[in-house]
Amino acid sequence: MECKHELNCEVSLIWVPSHVGIRGNEIADNLAYRATHRLQIDIHLSREISEMYSTIENYCRNRWQTEWSQQSVGEHYRGIVPNIMHITPPMKFPNRRIQVTANRLQLGKCRLIHYMHTMGKHDTGLCDIYDVQETVEHLPHHSM
């Protein structure tokens, strides 16, 4: 029979006496015998590194989601993006002014009447047209 794989190594076979009072052989033989008669394998096998990274990533993501969901700050943005899995990397803006405006809209901290009211710069915080809090959520009503 022709071998299809060449290992490029030497193999030596050595006769090892067993059951002749050599302590290590007796122990090995006893353990082998006991192992073949067990119904379960109780050896802890460690995880592969990719499994560990996946477990750590899932733990971090779950912890972040829990903290994200329970925080009292950022309610406006959390209303837009309730699940951290949908948080995208920061967008690229052509200039700082547009970036600041976009961030303020996301966070609900833009110069709308309701926000101006929270800073003490407007009496009521109500929209002049609809008589409700003028917030980012309310803005689409003006375009109707």
Q: What is the pLDDT of residue 59?
A: 92
Residue at 134 is within a domain? yes
Report the half-sphere exposure of 10 (CA within 13 A, side-chain side): 3
Q: How far apart are CA 114 and CA 52, in angstroms?
A: 47
pLDDT, tens only, 108-123: 777 788 878 888 888 8
Task: Compute the distance between CA of residue 125 and CA of residue 116 in angstroms, rounded to an integer.
Answer: 7
Q: What is the mean pLDDT of the chain?
A: 79
- Which pLDDT tens digit goes with each residue over 15-32? 766 566 777 878 888 888
Q: Please say if the pLDDT value at position 60 is more than 60.
A: yes
Rounded Cα–Cα distance for residues 57 and 53 (Å): 6
The number of helices, as runs of H, and strands, as runs of E, in the chain is 5, 0
User: In this structure, what token pair is assigned to residue 7?
Assistant: 């290992």
The whole domain housing 113 covers 90-144
> For a pLDDT cut of 70, what percent of the chain falls above it?
83
User: Looking at the 3D structure of the chain, how many domains does it have?
Assistant: 1
Pair 92, 98: CB distance under 8 Å:
no
- Beta-bridge partners for 135: none
4 occurs within a structural domain: no
Reported pTM:
0.40
Residue 67, in any domain of the structure: no
